[in-house]
């Protein structure tokens, strides 16, 4: 099983460039989310989605856009990259997400390391 697949795994951008981090899952999970991981700060939620057509902001949404046109895909767009967006990005999915009827377990991709010069 592929699980959660993130591409690319590494990317170097120049300030002001745009790019999209791709995330796809084959587990039919309704919940998908994006995190950034920075040294000493843990993982911080950027955006999340509870189903196709539904997205919402997390803790650090500025500078990032998302959309969810299908259950499987949840791309993260950087419209104008800044050095402050240098980080490792994780996509994670869950059958339902949250503290509800399911386990709430997040299934993570392998991460994408982004460097903005």
Partner 1 sequence: AQTVTQSQPEMSVQEAETVTLSCTYDTSESDYYLFWYKQPPSRQMILVIRQEAYKQQNATENRFSVNFQKAAKSFSLKISDSQLGDAAMYFCAYVGPGTYKYIFGTGTRLKVLA
d(CA 44, CA 66): 16
Counting contacts by CB under 8 A, is residue 115 touching partner 1? no
The correct pick among 31, 34, 64, 74 for binding partner 1 (CB under 8 A) is: 31
Binding window for partner 1 (CB under 8 A); candidates: 13-21, 32-40, 60-68, 70-78: 32-40
Residue with tokens 């902001």: 57
**58 or 63, CB closer to partner 1?**
58
Which among 19-27, 40-48, 64-72, 74-82 is the span making contact with partner 1, rule CB under 8 A?
A: 40-48
Four-residue CA torsion sign, 83, 63, 112, 34:
positive
Q: Binding to partner 1 (CB under 8 A): which residues in 62-81? A: none
Alpha-carbon span 52 to 59, nearest angstrom:
21
**Which of residues 34, 35, 74, 89 is near partner 1 by CB under 8 A?**
35
- Report the alpha-carbon distance of residue 5 to residue 90 in Å, rounded: 10
């Amino acid at each position: 099983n592929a699980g959660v697949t993130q591409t690319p795994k590494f990317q170097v951008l120049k300030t002001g460039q745009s790019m999209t981090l791709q995330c796809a899952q084959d587990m039919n999970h309704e919940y998908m989310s994006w995190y950034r991981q920075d040294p000493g700060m843990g993982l911080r939620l950027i955006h999340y989605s509870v189903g196709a057509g539904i997205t919402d902001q997390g803790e650090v949404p500025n500078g990032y856009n998302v959309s969810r046109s299908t259950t499987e895909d949840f791309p993260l767009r950087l419209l104008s990259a800044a050095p402050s967006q240098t980080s490792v990005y994780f996509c994670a999915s869950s059958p339902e997400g949250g503290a509800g009827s399911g386990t709430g377990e997040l299934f993570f991709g392998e991460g994408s390391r982004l460097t903005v010069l």
